[in-house]
Chains A and B, each alone.
Chain A
Amino acid sequence: MTEAMRHLDHDQQIRRIARLLGIEPGQVADLDAVPVADLRVLHDQLSESLFVAHEESFARVASVSKVIPGAVAGKLAERFLQPALAARAAVMLEPSKAGDLVNKVSVTYLADIAVSLDPVRGQAVIRAIPPARVAEVARELLRRDELAAMAEFAGTVDKAALDAALAVATPEQLVRVAPLLAWNDNIEEIVDELADERLDAILEAVADESLWVEASVLLRRLSPETLARVAARLGRLPHIAAAIPTALVGELAVDLFETGELETMAHFVPVVPHEALATALEVAGGANLLRIAPLIEWTTAVHTIVAALTDDHLDGVLHAMAEEALWTEASVLLRRLEIDTLARVAARLAIHRTIADQIPADLIRALATDLFADDDLDTMALFVPVVSGAALTAAIEVAGAANLLRIAPLIEWSDVVLEVLEALPDSYLDSVLGEVVDQALWSEGEALVEQLDAELRGRIVTRMAAAPSELVDRIRAQVVANTSSPVLGEIVAAVDAAR
């Protein structure tokens, strides 16, 4: 609950205590420092004390209903019994008698009683009141803005009566009373069952009356399913979505990330304002950012926000990835990132080599598959110097010979790269030779062989010597015509010597 909402709730509880004692709220201002939950307890203790003090008298008053007709009892009560006293006597009534009596007194009197009724002790009596009558009392309580009493009342009645009570509330009243309700299954079911039109009206009221504090509390009590519906309705009400305060989304995000309700959070991603979304993703933390990545719609706004993450944020993501082994999630996130951000990730991995070394080959294989499919060799080249040999091997497997040739001039060559290439089977080297010829990748082939060590060059000579004469002849001709590489020249000469 936010500070503002706690303040509202606090005020309501102070009012209840003051009413109970028959004094003004200002006369119990000393209780301002007491937490809301303790004020509720104190209220109930005071109420119990007042009840117990004259319990026998209340029982006698209640017993009158057994000996005189309900209509007479109702008239006498309304005329002579103060509502607070009637409330204490009422809890001693037989429930069936109470159900009859509530139709013999005015709604105004009933509402007066309701604000003083002990909801726990009076539960059986309250539940005997027909839903239609409950609705009338609720309307009167709402008219008087007796939200705390309404909330206490609503928390006691059964589902049918609660439904009737909440149905008479205007959307604005519903939003204002909802945070004060002791949330239970009945309330949750009723809220879950609200029609789309009612939800829309509630959202309109929140925006029109700026009831964001109340909405914040309410939203965080909704079931994931209803929250998802709210997000969907907001998608149809962009003027409301645009007005949602950043702080509200941040608070909601904190709650949802804490409770692991990432799918629910994901529903809000496409509808909340940019600033609010930025705050939500900021509070997510590295692990949650990874976990939510596969669930969200990657809108332009999301890309913009992710691109604006600081190096510290990116490092947080990378650390979480390694510490919590969120490799699957990381794979999705990396493949969603725009190229500039991906390049930044590669740069951060270059700084955090211990993390980079832990990245599983499968993750890099998936990333490489995407990057090669997109012909994005520049970005792939950024990852070559930072990932492990096993990951590089996986990347080369999906690259294919042609892509290996094309990326060769772009990458930073290292012992790790050479070791990976040395481990490639002869069939792969044959493919590389074939691609050089078939796709006329002469300059790429030249760049590649110039980086190779003597051992690899020797293997290439061996493979070429074993290749069909026609292929070797074509290579020789192309080398003479298209390259001035002394390395290639040496290789061709070595092949000729070996044949």
Chain B
Amino acid sequence: MADPSSELSALLGCAPPPSVAALPADTLDRLASQLTAARRAQDVALEGSINSALKAVPLPLRGVVKKVLLG
């Protein structure tokens, strides 16, 4: 079983404050899951926003905006 503190640290990109790292494993596990869910939700929301916005961009600008957003 993975170390919850390590898992959270990996998601954060750094070690959490000592008082957080010292929390019970299930709390750290839950926090890591909540962050993962937030990142996933952000991914979905970003994609949805970009797609929706693209449809609403005035036609003359849509090409250039699409190029900027999607590469």
Contacts and interface: CB of A to CB of B under 8 A. Distances in A.
B57 A68 contact: yes
A76 B53 contact: yes
Interface residues of A, number: 39
B50 A42 contact: no
Interface size classification for chain B? 35 or more
Nearest to A40: B17
A290 to B, nearest CB: 41
B1 interface: no
A20 to B, nearest CB: 7
A72 B57 contact: yes
B17 A41 contact: yes
A48 B34 contact: no
B20 A64 contact: no
B58 A34 contact: no
A38 B31 CA distance: 15
Interface in A17-54: 20-23, 27-28, 30-31, 33-35, 38, 41-42, 45-46, 48-50, 52-54
Contact of A76 (B17, B20, B56): B56
A53 B50 CA distance: 16
Contact of B38 (A30, A42, A50): A50
B56 A50 contact: no
Main secondary structure of the interface of B (DSSP, over half): helix
A42 B16 contact: yes
B3 to A, nearest CB: 17
Given A61-B50, A80-B52, A45 B69 contact: no
Interface in A49-107: 49-50, 52-54, 57, 60-61, 63-64, 66-68, 72, 76-77, 79-82, 84-85
Contacts of B31: 28, 30-31
B11 A35 contact: no
Interface in B1-24: 11-14, 16-20, 23-24
B20 to A, nearest CB: 5
Interface in B26-71: 27, 30-31, 34-35, 37-39, 41-43, 45-46, 49-50, 52-53, 56-58, 61, 64-65, 68-71
Interface of B: 11-14, 16-20, 23-24, 27, 30-31, 34-35, 37-39, 41-43, 45-46, 49-50, 52-53, 56-58, 61, 64-65, 68-71
Interface of A: 20-23, 27-28, 30-31, 33-35, 38, 41-42, 45-46, 48-50, 52-54, 57, 60-61, 63-64, 66-68, 72, 76-77, 79-82, 84-85
Given A67-B68, A81-B53, 5 more contacts: A30-B27, A30-B30, A45-B16, A46-B38, A68-B57
